[in-house]
Amino acid sequence: MPIRNRLAEMQPEIAEWRRDLHRHPELLFDTHRTSAFVAEKLRAFGCDEVVEGIGRTGVVGIVEGNGPGRTVGLRADMDALPIHEATGAEHASRTPGAMHACGHDGHTAMLLGAAKYLAETRNFAGRVAVIFQPAEEGGGGGDEMVRDGMMDRFDIDEVYGMHNWPGKPVGSFSIREGAFFAAADQFEIVVEGKGGHAAKPQEAVDTVVVSAHVITAMQTIASRNADPTKQVVVSITGIQTPTMPHNVIPQTLRMVGTVRTLDPDVRDMAERRLSEIAQGIAAGFGAMATVHYERGYPVMVNHETETEHMREAARAVSGGCEDAPLVMGGEDFAYMLEARPGAYILVGNGDTAPVHHPEYDFDDEAIPAGASLWVELAERRLAPS
């Protein structure tokens, strides 16, 4: 069955929900307005149960089918990013320094549309749990909801997620089995040398020079330490000194960055080598490096059977479903996939700016396809026996 006619008819209404959410972005767990908006809609739709405060500010709605059966979870993320919007759109962010630059407003709106349809039709046996999660962008809201007992409390048997993807045709789908999104770790390195006058470098231990060597050598983690058939990314994303005068060699220098991997052994190796390289090079120059390494989201792994279920539903909606590439970005839906079998799929957002860009905007034309996929998947997985 292709895009549901009812959801195509609802597209303008769902798009207006999306644009309202876009005007009022909220960060991390501070999704109070968004969560209240979601809960109000779910109650208005006639959901049988609406629970707020799961994982701090998460919301779960339950739609009962026309008979007993299993429970399928469908998840959308709600939080925005700390970015100044530059779209110039009528529905642009009204909150300085925050915007929906990753399409979570679209994800939330599509799942709300699916929830309304499912509550109207109830053409399934069992239950659908619609999951609205805060703090995907670095806060680990997915982990918080799982640790808050969501899976057991609502008897969720399997769980599914979706993300829009700029550069793919609007409404098209792609998915892959197994490792999909990377583990996302972060680190901080503080190099301490001996400050001094920039005109007398021989009297100092130059932390800038030390750090330049460390940054260059870190790239050998990927090129000389990792198996060439396995992916690893090591990126320095910020460098900071206490002050920025032109004539001072700084006593200390701070670097921050991220490590992305898809294999547990490579993750262990990268963490170990990062410290060894930083500390060894610093010592060679007469400086000292202190390394703080923090593990973040785990690798997001799609389960085999559930990936095929989602692929079949996507084909039913759009006529096809491509194989998705590996993604070195992180995704905290990984925690839900560690707790229950499930899968994660990409839906095309068309020729837009990339996510996390100040000119990005979710394409409302993708709404009917995304919402139809949720309905198709739920009705297939909960078809009466």
Q: What is the pLDDT of residue 188?
A: 98
Stretch (H or E) spanning 129:
strand 127-133
Where is the domain boundary, 297, 315, 342?
297
Domain that holds residue 277: 183-297
The number of beta carbons lying within 10 Å of the beta carbon of residue 248 is: 15
Question: Are 226 and 152 in the same domain?
Answer: no
Q: What is the pLDDT of residue 385?
A: 78
Where is the domain boundary, 267, 297, 327?
297
The reply to whether 47 sits in an annotated binding site is no
Return the ∠ at Cα 275 (arms to 274 and 281), rounded to 5°: 90
| Residues identified as active-site | 79, 136
Question: Are 144 and 194 in the same domain?
Answer: no
Q: What is the CATH number of the domain that holds 373?
A: 3.40.630.10
Question: Are 121 and 50 in the same domain?
Answer: yes
Residue 138, CB-side half-sphere exposure with 13 Å CA sphere? 11
Q: What is the pTM of this model?
A: 0.95
Question: Are 201 and 275 in the same domain?
Answer: yes
CA distances from 73 to 31, 152, 302 (A): 21, 12, 15
Q: What is the pLDDT of residue 143?
A: 98
Question: Are 187 and 93 in the same domain?
Answer: no
The reply to whether 102 sits in an annotated binding site is yes
The reply to whether 163 sits in an annotated binding site is yes
Question: Are 91 and 236 in the same domain?
Answer: no
Q: What is the CATH number of the domain that holds 213?
A: 3.30.70.360
The reply to whether 22 sits in an annotated binding site is no
- How many independent structural domains does the chain possess? 2
CA-based nearest residue to 371, from 137, 164, 100, 82: 164
Q: What is the pLDDT of residue 108?
A: 99
Return per-residue pLDDT of the chain as tens, 385 residues.
589 999 999 999 999 999 999 999 999 999 999 999 999 999 999 999 999 999 999 999 999 999 999 999 999 999 999 999 999 999 999 999 999 999 999 999 999 999 999 999 999 999 999 999 999 999 999 999 999 999 999 999 999 999 999 999 999 999 999 999 999 999 999 999 999 999 999 999 999 999 999 999 999 999 999 999 999 999 999 999 999 999 999 999 999 999 999 999 999 999 999 999 999 999 999 999 999 999 999 999 999 999 999 999 999 999 999 999 999 999 999 999 999 999 999 999 999 999 999 999 999 999 999 999 999 999 999 999 7
Q: How far is the C-alpha of 74 from the C-alpha of 333, rounded, in Å?
A: 11
Q: How far is the C-alpha of 25 from the C-alpha of 98, rounded, in Å?
A: 6
Question: Are 325 and 251 in the same domain?
Answer: no
CA distances from 384 to 110, 159, 342, 372 (A): 25, 19, 20, 19
Type of residue found at 136:
E
Question: Are 307 and 158 in the same domain?
Answer: yes
Question: Are 175 and 199 in the same domain?
Answer: no
Question: Are 158 and 307 in the same domain?
Answer: yes
Q: What is the pLDDT of residue 310?
A: 98
Helix axes 5-23, 104-121, angle to 10 degrees: 140
Pairing mode of beta strands 158-165, 173-175: unpaired
